[in-house]
Amino acid sequence: MTVKLQKAWETARASYWFVPTLMTMGAMALAFGMLALDTDYGHEVVDDLGWIFSGGPEGARQVLSTVASSMITVAGVAFSITIVALSLASSQFGPRVLYNFMRDTGNQVVLGTFIATFIYCLLILRSVQGEFEGSSFVPAMSVTMGVMLAVASLGVLIFFIHHTAISIQAPQIIAAIHHDLRSAIDRLFPADVGEPVGPSVGEDAEPENFEVESEPLRAAKSGYLQVVDDDRLIALAREHDMLLRLECRPGHFVTPGQPILRVWPADRLADEVRDELCETFGLGPQRTHVQDAEFAINQLVEIALRALSTGVNDPFTAFNCIDQLSAALSVVAGRALPSPYRRDDQGTLRVVAAKQITFGGLVDAAFNQIRQNSHTVPAVTIRLLEALASIARNTGREDYRDVLRRHAEMIRRGSLAELAEENDRRDVEERYWAVLEALDPNWAAPSVALRPRPVLVDDS
């Protein structure tokens, strides 16, 4: 899928007009189809089936008018409830969470159902003719279908009330963000990828004169880099025999004139090639989770920080965020990072991802801010160390273990320096030892008699 199609699809998914528009078009097609059936077989069906509408023109108009007016009223109420839910979510969990609410297919289908039923009834209503109009025509099957749609809309309304009450709960919001995070991880860190593959033996990653003889491709406008069409980049590099080096990755904010790509050799960067390369980058006003795992991590961190603020003081929501972060990072810890070197079908190096995301960067994004805001909350500190121990059990890479060990030490130092209660410090110290044991099964915690008092400050 091209970058333009990806951006268009994500924009459509995060809108309240796309699904209702499709459903409205379906309702129009259904209305014309039902009228055609009524014209050809209406009288036969009414005689054979007793449950088909058998009233006159005035009765048909009354039924359709009632259904249409009630649907547009309920649609307005549903829209108002949606706006209230969005306002509550924005104030409690942060404005970036609204992106997830806008992508909620359930709310879009609910609004689409009410509007589609309203449009269907209007189209059928205009075809009802009385005897005073020259000829009598009552689309019995079409009117019956309108009543059936009204009954279905009543069920959708009940679903909407239940869905809205569930969707604004903190665990559900956090679980939905975790689902997006897992999807991004599966795309960026495939489970079947092996060890990172670098340049071939005897082959340099980049030519020695790359910096001098390469030409930068600069951004024409500002915005967040949302998606990069890697396959198209490799195809263009092969077509024009170029080597490309990415200077930024999805999630980075670029300004006009900032280099986003370097092309070697420079004489290959003609105007038409420049335009083709620009089309492989998708910029937008906000970050998305399509190729940016850190965006979903930042959403969870934001919820946790709001929960830890003095105005909210909800550590249990922070626990939930930490648990979901540890679950996602445990998946990353068991996988190898893809190689930054991208080759074509002939094995020729074509693209180098210079600003590639790392395991350490993901762990920093997940735990740094929570750690900095929870030194005086022993329960959150303990939960962070337990999360690190859980992640450590899922990795066998020494470089990943070094990252987790560094974070455990920072959490321990910060909390022990701030906590006044010795029992709290003891609990933190024991969780820290559990992390070390998870990182190195041969490591043994000191015996109770030999355990030092866990104080990092001078008591004198």
Q: What share of the chain is helix, strand, coil (3-state, %, to 5)?
A: 60, 10, 30
Contact (CB, 8 A) for 402 and 359: no
pLDDT tens for the chain, 460 residues long, are: 566 676 777 777 777 888 899 999 999 999 999 888 888 765 665 555 555 766 778 888 888 999 999 999 999 998 888 888 888 888 888 787 777 777 788 888 999 999 999 999 999 988 887 655 556 777 888 888 899 999 999 999 999 999 888 888 888 889 988 988 888 888 887 765 444 445 543 345 677 778 777 888 888 888 888 888 888 888 888 888 888 888 888 888 999 988 888 888 888 878 888 888 888 888 888 888 778 888 889 999 999 999 888 877 888 999 999 999 999 999 998 887 877 888 888 878 888 887 778 888 999 999 999 998 888 888 899 999 999 999 998 888 888 899 999 999 999 888 887 777 888 888 888 888 888 888 887 766 665 444 555 555 554 4
Burial class (CB in 10 A: 0-12, 13-18, 19+), 8: middle
pLDDT at 385: 93
For residue 163, the surrounding DSSP H or E stretch is helix 140-167
Is 403 part of a structural domain of the chain?
Answer: no
Listed residue (69, 156, 162, 172) closest to 118, CA to CA = 69
For residue 237, being part of any structural domain is answered with no
pLDDT at residue 447 in the model: 56
Residues of the chain with pLDDT > 70: what percent?
87
**Helices 170-188 and 315-333: crossing angle, nearest 10°?**
20
Q: Is residue 93 part of a domain?
A: yes
pLDDT, position 457: 52
Q: What is the spatial distance between Cα 317 and Cα 332, in angstroms, rounded to a whole number?
A: 23
Residue 50 has a pLDDT of: 59
Residue 374 lies in a domain: no
Residue 383 in any domain: the answer is no
Q: DSSP letter at 334?
A: T
Token look-up 């209305």 returns 31
Domain presence at residue 197: no
Residue 399 domain-assigned (yes or no): no
Question: How would you classify residue 323: left for phi > 0, otherwise alpha for psi between -120 and 50, otherwise beta?
Answer: alpha
The pLDDT of residue 25 is 94
Work out the angle at residue 38's Cα, subtended by the Cα atoms of residues 34 and 42, and round it to the nearest 5 degrees. 140
In a domain, 60, yes or no: yes
b/e map 159-186, b = 16+ CB within 10 Å:
ebeebbeebbebeebbebbbebbbebbe
- With contact defined as beta carbons under 8 Å apart, do 242 and 265 qualify? yes
For the chain, the domain total comes to 1
**Containing domain of residue 20, as a range?**
3-168
Is residue 97 classed as helix, strand or coil in its secondary structure? Answer: helix
HEC string of 261-304? EEEECHHHCCHHHHHHHHCCEEEECCCCCCCCHHHHHHHHHHHH
